[in-house]
Amino acid sequence: MADTALGIPDHHYREGSASLTLGSGFFRPDSRPSRDCSVLLARHQQQNAEGQLRWLDLMAGCGIRGLRWGLEAVPARAERVELWVNDGDPDRLPCLESNLSGLPMPVRISSQAAEVVLAQAYLEGRFFDLIDLDAFGAPGALIQPVLQALRFEGLLLLASTDGRSPTGHDRAGAVRSLGAAARVHPASWELALRHQLGLLARQAWMLGRGLQPLLCFSEGRTFRVGVRMRRHLQPGEEHRLGLLARCDACGSQVVQILRNLSGWPACRCASGAGRWSVSGPLWIGPLQDPQTLAALRRDPWLREPGAISNQTQRLLERLEADPGSPATVWPTDELARRVGIGGPPPLNQLVTAVRRAGFQAYPSGVMAGQLRTDADLTVLLRLCADLCSEGT
């Protein structure tokens, strides 16, 4: 029995309705939430679209996403969906062909560089309704050709495993791959997602298209965004690109819209010694679309045993409870430390207190133990201190 790149024995693997051979290439069982979300979005598109659909799994590995789309996202009239499944590694071809051979719809399997698949699609006027780009590293160079091969209102699932640049640990790398300043921030996964969306938005806008994030998440290693490419920009969409500054002394945060950039106010640090660490341009708009998430969660397929994993179920619940806006997020640990109390107040209590004080507040769906709010740090520290004294 051969081993996959991650040491998983090359045997039959089951996930959802799919049963397949993993082959000897890259495969991560832990990425199941991203595959479950891919199937859910494909189902959602299929249920709401008329006519033919064309879906592309561009870096397919063993072909599990295409296989699950074919088995789980098209319950009736399989012929209305055409699947395109590609992996650049020619050694994957026999595995792809065998795994996808039983699907009832037309399936085009190839082993070409993604750049070639997309260039051919462009030359031949072939557009896709859904593209899943599950890349290694930073996918920036493929964004423009991917968007050019996506149909208006089409869906794109984009993964990046480059965590160092967008989290501020490789600042030169961030300038190169994102065209942006990236600074270390406690909400590091969220900033990485916002950088990815900022890059996507700028590329979509260059084509005259709009960008609507549907869902964004990470487990700290891979940063995943699911977006809809709109035919036109929404009014004021350019206001969703901006800069986020964090005081390196007191932790205060300020957001500015790029279009209206007007310098930074002095931070109200007690010491006056704080300097702003500025990240951006990045996406400062919502990370999720609550309507789409609610529709995904209403899908009756979710009631079938094993349709999605428990982990995916919890992820969707977290994302639905957090619209991903405003863009300012604080770890409760940091707030507790700055107030000088032992442990942080329970996040739900803090959310309630901040809402009562007249501000927006949500538990972050992106990183555990973080509060999303438009209240400023002074208010947050006072509310934290009040909660702490109520509890003693």
Ligand X SMILES: C[S@@+](CC[C@H](N)C(=O)[O-])C[C@H]1O[C@@H](n2cnc3c(N)ncnc32)[C@H](O)[C@@H]1O
CA nearest to 272, candidates 296, 247, 293? 247
Using CB under 6 A as the binding rule, whether residue 59 contacts ligand X is answered as: yes
Q: Which amino acid is at 85?
A: V
Query: Quick one: how far is CA 153 from the chain centroid?
Result: 18
d(CA 160, CA 139): 6
> Binders of ligand X: how many residues, by CB under 6 A?
17
Site mask, ligand X, residues 7-46, x = CB under 6 A?
Answer: ------------------xxx---x---x-----------
Stretch near ligand X under the rule CB under 6 A, chosen from 83-91, 272-280, 305-313, 333-341: 83-91
Q: Pick one of Zn ion, ligand X, none as the site partner of residue 274 (Cβ within 5 to 8 A by kind).
A: Zn ion
> Rounded to whole angstroms, what are the CA distances from 251 to 139, 147, 265, 341?
31, 37, 14, 16
d(CA 117, CA 40): 25
Neighbours of 14 (CB within 10 A): 9
Toward Zn ion, which CB reaches closer, 218 or 252? 252
Site mask, Zn ion, residues 210-249, x = CB under 5 A?
Answer: -------------------------------------x-x
Q: Pick one of ligand X, Zn ion, none as the site partner of residue 252 (Cβ within 5 to 8 A by kind).
A: Zn ion
Stretch near ligand X under the rule CB under 6 A, chosen from 53-61, 188-196, 277-285, 307-315: 53-61
Cβ-contact 149, 126 below 8 angstroms: yes
Which residues does 159 contact at the CB level (< 8 Å), separation at least 6? 34, 133, 134, 135, 139, 222, 223, 224
d(CA 191, CA 278): 12
Q: Pick one of ligand X, Zn ion, none as the site partner of residue 267 (Cβ within 5 to 8 A by kind).
A: Zn ion
Contact pick of 100, 109, 118, 250 for Zn ion (by CB under 5 A): 250
State the minimum distance, in angstroms, from the CB of residue 60 to ligand X: 6
State the minimum distance, in angstroms, from the CB of residue 205 to ligand X: 25
d(CA 181, CA 125): 36
Using CB under 5 A as the binding rule, whether residue 252 contacts Zn ion is answered as: yes
Using CB under 6 A as the binding rule, whether residue 134 contacts ligand X is answered as: yes
For Zn ion, the binding residues (CB under 5 A) are 247, 249-250, 252, 267, 269, 274
